[in-house]
Amino acid sequence: MTDLAAVKRALTAQRIETPSWAYANSGTRFKVFAQPGVPRNPEEKIADAATVHQFTGVAPVVALHIPWDKVDDYAALGSYARDLGVEIGAINTNVFQDDDYKLGSVTNPDAGIRRKATDHLLEAIDIMGQTGSRDLKLWFSDGINYPGQDDLRDRQDRLAAALREAYDRLTGNQRMLLEYKLFEPAFYATDVPDWGTSYAHCLELGERATVCIDTGHHAPSTNIEFIVAFLLRQKKLGAFDFNSRFYADDDLMVGAADPFQLFRIMYEIVRGGALDPAYGIAFMLDQCHNIERKIPAIIRSVMNVQEATAKALLVDREALTRAQQAGDVLEANAVFMDAYNTDVRPLLAEVRTDAGLDPDPMAAYRRSGHDEKIIAERVGGTQAGWGA
């Protein structure tokens, strides 16, 4: 039987990180779509993240992206965030938008460009120290488009050298999160194309290096929950970038395309004892809200993760284990599906009410008038975007 009190405690303790760039203007490869009321600076992005936390109660961390969130005083920015009830999460690097990186950043055949890219990684670690961030998030667009364009093994050696230099700069509780992506913008060969490549580099680096899974960065039909289970077993899963995809890296709201997949992933998290924030996994949303309003879209995404988590917590583990050990295929699947088919919205409404929150965050946000307020206030200046 499932202990509902324990389920409620786990849901109350859950923590979800939101990304600063999701509050800014974004779009497709062809156009960035501007919206009224989006942030004009990093402080307003953090204020929006604090608003999401105010209505959901489980989003007290906001990730930054450098140089999109570059400021003169990072210590002051960290203090500003804490004053609003949130803290700075992962510092995400950007070695993919400079013209110098056309042929790669840390794997570029030009030593000067590799130095420039590696120095940016070190800059991000310095920013971590100033803001109190724990996590350095690395994603590289590096790769090649044509056979023979560059040496595949040399590029791995260059990558390893840059990762080692950055890793050796980490201090205290700081750690490295190495993300991967199957393709794009490199089409023939990507230098960190999958979880295995990331895992191998993290093993070589040491215990401070862990894998970040972006749920949109896989080939079609990839069993992401298997990757989760494997990396948890190896104690090498450090973070998620949650989103949804229909075709490639769509960056849609998490749970929008395949809520059953999200449930299966969260079950492996629960099964592995990794839901508790003390375990150390950063559950971050990495999404681009191109046509929907920013703050309510992120509130909805947080709620989607909560619902998948609640269903995962409701799996009758004892009954499931009995069926599995007895080889009862149908019963094991039935136990699993019973949890997934449970309407957990009333349970989550109770959890929110017990925490002093409105049971329906979306309705509460609409009633608050906050959207109209920021549209009226944020006039003039330059709207923030993802730099495209």
> Are the C-beta atoms of residues 141 and 187 closer than 8 Å to each other?
no
pLDDT grade for 147, boundaries at 50, 70 and 90: very high
- What pLDDT sits at residue 304? 98
Which residues are CB-neighbours of 46 under 8 A, at least 6 positions away?
A: 20, 62, 77, 80, 81, 84, 86
- Residues 109-115 have a mean pLDDT of 98
Mean pLDDT of all residues in the chain? 96
- 2 pLDDT tier (thresholds 50, 70, 90): confident
Question: In CATH, what number does 14-312+358-377 get?
Answer: 3.20.20.150
**Cα gap 18→284, rounded to integer Å:** 6
Cβ-based burial of 39 (10 A; exposed 0-12, middle 13-18, buried ≥19): buried
pLDDT digits (tens, 9 = 90+) for 191-235: 999 999 999 999 999 999 999 999 999 999 999 999 999 999 999
> Domain coordinates of the chain in residue numbers?
14-312+358-377
**pLDDT tens across 319-335, in order?**
999 999 999 999 999 99
Beta bridge partners of 275: none
Mean pLDDT of 76-96: 98
Q: Which amino acid is at 185?
A: P
- What confidence score (pLDDT) does residue 373 get? 97
Taking residues 308-313, report their average pLDDT. 98
Q: Where are the beta strands (DSSP E) in the chain?
A: 17-19, 26-27, 32-33, 61-65, 87-92, 135-138, 143-144, 175-179, 189-190, 209-214, 237-242, 282-285
d(C-alpha 256, C-alpha 370), whole Å? 25
pLDDT above 90: percentage of residues in the chain:
95
pLDDT band at 387 (very low <50, low <70, confident <90, very high): low
Structure tokens, 85: 């009830």
Q: Which helix (H) or strand (E) holds 113?
A: helix 111-131
Can you give the pTM of this predicted structure?
0.96
Q: Which residues pair with 26 in a beta bridge?
A: 33
> Which residues neighbour 90 within 8 Å (Cβ) at sequence distance 6 or greater?
17, 63, 64, 133, 134, 135, 136, 137, 177, 239, 282, 284
pLDDT bin (cut points 50, 70, 90) of residue 25 is very high
Residue 219 is predicted with a pLDDT of: 94
Q: Using an 8 Å Cβ cutoff, are 311 and 339 in contact?
A: yes
